[in-house]
Amino acid sequence: MTMLEPLIFELSREGRTGVNGPKCNLSDKEIGDLLGSANLRSNLPLPEVSELDVMRHFTHLSHKNYGIDLGFYPLGSCTMKYNPRINERTAALPGFASLHPLQPVETVQGALELIVQLQDILATICGMDATTIQPSAGAHGELLSMMMIKAYHADRGETGRNEVVIPDSAHGTNPASAARCGFKVRSIPSDSKGCTDLSALKSALGPKTAALMLTNPNTVGLFEVDIVEICKMVHEAGGLVYCDGANMNAMLGLTRPGDMGFDVMHFNLHKTFSTPHGGGGPGCGAVSVKSCLEPYLPTPVVRLDGENGGYILDENRPQSIGRIHSFYGAFLIAVRAYTYIRTLGPEGLRSVGENAVINANYIRSRLSEYYDVAFGNQPCMHEVVISASKQKQQHGVRALDISKRLMDYGIHPPTNYFPLIVPEALMIEPTETEGKQTIDHFIDVMIKIAKEAEEDPELLLTAPHITPVSRLDETMAVKNLDLRYEAIFKDTHS
């Protein structure tokens, strides 16, 4: 299993054929007659492998990859909960998966109804008025939110509002998304309790403020206790408040950003609503808004047409910021999220928030004796940030080394070195789907590693020991860039 797997291109043998695909007996000359011989390419450097080669190659690759199905995956801020298989089954229904987005609207009423139902449910869950599922990821949802906020201020003639206030604990996409919309980023520090520093916020707010971008619970896993006051302050300054919904799992059924005063938020359907992360994507960054931002939602807006009683794709939205996706967003991700929400119902959604919070606090409480907990071991929401500062100082072992050692125990490491305001951070998010047994095992391993750090730090510094590869030379990866398999490009005249 730890053998080097060749690249698919290295398995290629001239003349070997793959799957039993379509047959066409057009000659090269006939193709040239139709397309123009000057337009034809001379060489297509693709591999020639059998279907069995393909099956084995990618199965081997899968053996070198770790997913939630294999074990505990407490990657903070990513909500690696179980991905129910009924979601995959419903998303594979031909009546959903085999729809063309440009079909006559009469032929896709079921799909549009599902989108509208999901939009309404998401608005209810977060306490807002309207939703779009067009954004393809969380960062895309952030970008859309900033676009709408910019349009909102412009419509009110307040074009001088060109600053967005963002706490220093925020995810890097927040400042990057604001900057993409031409906003200036004003970073504010966190207070000694790990929450937004109200006096710093106050001095950052003013006539230039377009918005505050805030993650709640924040990236330290703490609930912003002054949230109502914070939203009030921003509104009084004439700005809007955006909620980064990466941590929505902590709040399901327990509280709603709309009730706190937020004007707009994004969901990560691939985190909170259990759609598979797929090794990085596809996701869906649905955005919900209060009525003040509804006119700016991207087109087309999917809605029920009161006059004709059918669902429509409404493009007649003069104040809309426009289109942000080739079509209507990640529809099949929406089908999965909808399936999940309908499985859970109101009681199930509440149990998500509750168990996620209990699991995280249980880890915090049991590990606090062995590791420093960021910002003084106070109750957290769905994730806990611990620090390996103690281990670094006393034994020269860093957060990264602890993470690599976890791999030897078959556990995926937590998020490392984030948030930036906690030195040697390890951000642990167990999610509600993990039971006490699994969590106890993780805690026991973490305690064992803390002891190993004292007794045999070398064991950690050289970890992992049992993975298909050991630590990789990332400097070499940058300095000797190797981003494609060069050998197939050598012979370009065949």
Distance between CA atoms of residues 72 and 437, nearest Å: 11
For tokens 């029920």, what's the residue?
304
State both tokens at 333: 């991700």
Q: How far is the CB of 480 from other proteins (least distance, A)?
A: 8
Q: How far is the CB of 355 from other proteins (least distance, A)?
A: 5
User: Which one of 303, 355, 457, 459 is in contact with other proteins (CB under 8 A)?
Assistant: 355
Residue 80 within binding range of other proteins, rule CB under 8 A: yes
Distance between CA atoms of residues 211 and 209, nearest Å: 6
Q: Which stretch binds other proteins (CB under 8 A): 251-259, 287-295, 391-399, 448-456?
A: 251-259
User: Which one of 74, 125, 233, 395 is in contact with other proteins (CB under 8 A)?
Assistant: 125
Q: How far is the CB of 203 from other proteins (least distance, A)?
A: 20
Polymer length in residues for the chain: 494
Between 53 and 314, whose beta carbon lies closer to other proteins?
A: 53
Helix (H/G/I), strand (E/B), else coil: 162: coil
Distance between CA atoms of residues 77 and 246, nearest Å: 6
Distance between CA atoms of residues 465 and 427, nearest Å: 23
Parallel/antiparallel/unpaired status of strands 384-387 and 425-428: antiparallel
Residue 19 within binding range of other proteins, rule CB under 8 A: yes
Question: Residue 426: in which H helix or E strand, if any?
Answer: strand 425-428
DSSP letters along 378-414, please? ---SS-EEEE-HHHHHHHS--HHHHHHHHHHTT----
C-beta of residue 441 within 8 angstroms of C-beta of residue 449: no
State both tokens at 159: 């074009």
Residue 402 within binding range of other proteins, rule CB under 8 A: no
Between 50 and 206, whose beta carbon lies closer to other proteins?
A: 50
- Of 33-52, binders to other proteins (CB under 8 A) are 34-36, 38-42, 44-49, 51
Q: How far is the CB of 313 from other proteins (least distance, A)?
A: 11
Peptide bond into 300 cis (omega under 30): yes
Q: How far is the CB of 464 from other proteins (least distance, A)?
A: 5
Between 410 and 454, whose beta carbon lies closer to other proteins?
A: 410
Distance between CA atoms of residues 156 and 150, nearest Å: 10
Residue 22 within binding range of other proteins, rule CB under 8 A: yes
- Of 406-425, binders to other proteins (CB under 8 A) are 407, 412-413, 415-416, 418
Q: Look at residues 198, 252, 259 and name the one whose alpha carbon lies nearest to residue 228.
A: 259
User: Which one of 26, 232, 292, 304 is in contact with other proteins (CB under 8 A)?
Assistant: 26
Q: How far is the CB of 199 from other proteins (least distance, A)?
A: 20
**Paired strand residues for 130:** 289
Q: How far is the CB of 204 from other proteins (least distance, A)?
A: 15
User: Which one of 240, 404, 447, 460 is in contact with other proteins (CB under 8 A)?
Assistant: 404
Q: How far is the CB of 239 from other proteins (least distance, A)?
A: 18
Helix (H/G/I), strand (E/B), else coil: 352: helix
Residue 490 within binding range of other proteins, rule CB under 8 A: no
Residue 393 within binding range of other proteins, rule CB under 8 A: no
Q: Which stretch binds other proteins (CB under 8 A): 172-180, 237-245, 387-395, 451-459?
A: 172-180
- Of 208-247, binders to other proteins (CB under 8 A) are 222-223, 225, 227-228
Residue 469 within binding range of other proteins, rule CB under 8 A: yes
Residue 59 within binding range of other proteins, rule CB under 8 A: yes
Between 223 and 452, whose beta carbon lies closer to other proteins?
A: 223
- Of 297-326, binders to other proteins (CB under 8 A) are 298, 321-326
Residue 136 within binding range of other proteins, rule CB under 8 A: yes
C-beta of residue 224 within 8 angstroms of C-beta of residue 231: no
Q: How far is the CB of 473 from other proteins (least distance, A)?
A: 5
Q: State how far the alpha carbon of 376 is from the alpha carbons of 19, 227, 392, in Å.
A: 59, 20, 19
| Cβ-based burial of 368 (10 A; exposed 0-12, middle 13-18, buried ≥19) | middle
Residue 198 within binding range of other proteins, rule CB under 8 A: no
CA dihedral angle for residue 441, residue 445, residue 446, residue 448, rounded to 10 degrees: 140
Residue 102 within binding range of other proteins, rule CB under 8 A: yes
- Of 423-452, binders to other proteins (CB under 8 A) are 432-438
User: Which one of 236, 307, 347, 455 is in contact with other proteins (CB under 8 A)?
Assistant: 347
Q: At what angle do helices 331-367 and 109-126 cross, to 10 degrees?
A: 30
Residue 116 within binding range of other proteins, rule CB under 8 A: no
**Paired strand residues for 265:** 243, 288
Residues 272-301 as x/- pattern, contact with other proteins by CB under 8 A? --x-xxxxxxxxx-------------x---
Phi-psi group of 238: left, alpha or beta (phi > 0 → left; psi -120 to 50 → alpha; rest → beta): left
